[in-house]
Chains A and B, each alone.
Chain A
Amino acid sequence: MILTRDLRKSFGPVQALAGLSFAMAEGELAALLGANGAGKSTLLRLISGLSRPSSGSAEVAGFDVRRQPQEVRRRIGVVSHQTFLYEDLSAEENLHFYGRMYSVAGLQERSDELLAMMELWPRRTDLVRTFSRGMQQRLALARAMLHQPTVLLLDEPFTGLDLHAIDLLTSFIEEASAGRVTVLMTLHDPDYALAHSRRLFVLHQGRLVIDQPSEQVRKGDILPFFREK
């Protein structure tokens, strides 16, 4: 579902990604760990097409990210610590806006379903600017899932969330993965990654130093790579 081949990205003299090659199958739930500046967010930006690779290639569902960007965009949902939500619009208006951009069929029903699932139904007509951080992030996940993507890219989705919001998002992500959605999420919390992901990637200075099933990784294996250099 996600395939990268010798993916490289440089910002001037700084090499953010130094030749990443990996493949993720349908329904896989993987966590991407690493210190600040390891290249996690850069990798997600390259896979989502927001950034151009210096060399190498990335594919989503068999579509090349650079050559077939529209096909890729239709198949991915992205959540980052920035919500991509319009604060002057209500929760429902935000979902309808993005729904129309993705040409979602049965938009009203789909939007209602997601708002209920994210426990935002009572606040659906309220402006997003009145929402707490947790509510905004839940709505951001609803936005990302609105068009039923086959790949979900989550860039530190739990930043600033309370425990209830983390639980809600976790169960939603696990359900999505069980429903054959491929999930790749960057995280800073090794405990959470070990407990909830089925595959673990660790990036260190732009290189993939660990790529293993989560049950085969111990916390001690990861921690040395959490020091920023």
Chain B
Amino acid sequence: MQTLTQFYTILHKDLLQELRSKEIITAMLVFSLTVVVIFNFVFDPGSAEMRTTAPGILWVAFIFAGNLGLSRAFAREQENSMMQGLLLCPVDRSLLFTAKVIGNILFIGLVEIITLPVMIIFFDLAVGRAWPLLLAILFLGTAGFATVGTIFSAISANTRSREVMLPIMLFPVTVPIILAAIKSTSYLLAGRETADIWPWLRLLIGFDVLYFFVCFLLYEYVVEE
């Protein structure tokens, strides 16, 4: 019960802070919408190339916006040494990690929920009855990216050039997640059978689980000195 209360308290605090400052969501949203709008002008309206490249553009927007948000989220925790204040509390580091991951998933997820309809309209994408699967792919891709991003933002926050260091460390490690997310999204939007999508989804789920447990175990060593 105490663990649940602490988990909810951390999550609630992060959401309340963001609700008041709006600095993370605003930056991410402006970036992702800008990417969608700019790429919309690159292709002829309704062209086949537009639909083929749409999944890649979609994930580029989400991943780079997510990187922006992750970097800012942990930097904010460093102001006034608030992270130290959290580390001094009698709270398990794995709980702290899980709460931070969920918070980051919510922030990135909110940006995705706003950006996705804009993308669908601009790129004339036909989702049809595949909505639940598309949302599941978005969730799995975001969860994997946010999991690895949470631990790398903690590492990069202690470096001198964290804005540069975070993507350098994060993107190579998340390649399997990004690749699986793009492939399954593109197959889904191309109207392919679920059987074709499933291998990529399995890869996505596999890396999500693997990364979560590795990061879960390493977080304590990362945040403590």
- A residues with a Cβ closer than 8 A to B are 48-52, 70, 73-74, 76, 78, 80, 82-89, 93, 97-98, 100-103, 127, 143
- State whether A101 touches B90 (Cβ < 8 A): yes
Contact of B91 among A51, A86, A88, A101 (CB under 8 A): A101
Chain A residues whose C-beta falls within 8 Å of the C-beta of B89 in the assembled complex: 73, 98, 101-102
| Docked CA distance A48–B224 (Å) | 12
B126 to chain A, nearest CB (A): 42
Please name all residues of chain B whose beta carbon is closer than 8 Å to the beta carbon of A82 when the two chains form the complex.
80-81, 84
Out of A51, A74, A98, name the residue touching B85 (CB < 8 Å). Answer: A98
How large, as a class, is the contact surface on chain B?
20 to 34
Q: Are A50 and B224 in contact (CB under 8 A)?
A: yes
* B16-65 at interface with A (beta carbon < 8 Å): 16-17, 20-21
Least distance between B79 CB and chain A CB atoms (Å):
7
Tell me the nearest residue of chain A to B10, going by C-beta. Answer: A101
B192 on the interface (CB 8 Å rule)?
no
Closest A residue to B79 by CB, please name it.
Answer: A87
**How far does the alpha carbon of A76 sit from the alpha carbon of B82 in the complex, in Å?**
17
> How far in angstroms is the closest Cβ of chain A from B17?
5
| Contact assessment for B82 and A84 in the assembled complex, using a CB-CB cutoff below 8 Å | yes
Question: Are A85 and B82 in touch, CB under 8 angstroms?
Answer: yes
Q: Which residues of A contact B202 (CB under 8 A)?
A: none
Contact, CB under 8 Å: A76 / B9: no
* Contact status A50-B9, CB under 8 Å: no
Check B21 against A102 for contact (C-beta < 8 Å). Answer: no
Contact of B193 with A by CB under 8 A = no
Complex Cα spacing A84 to B85, Å: 5
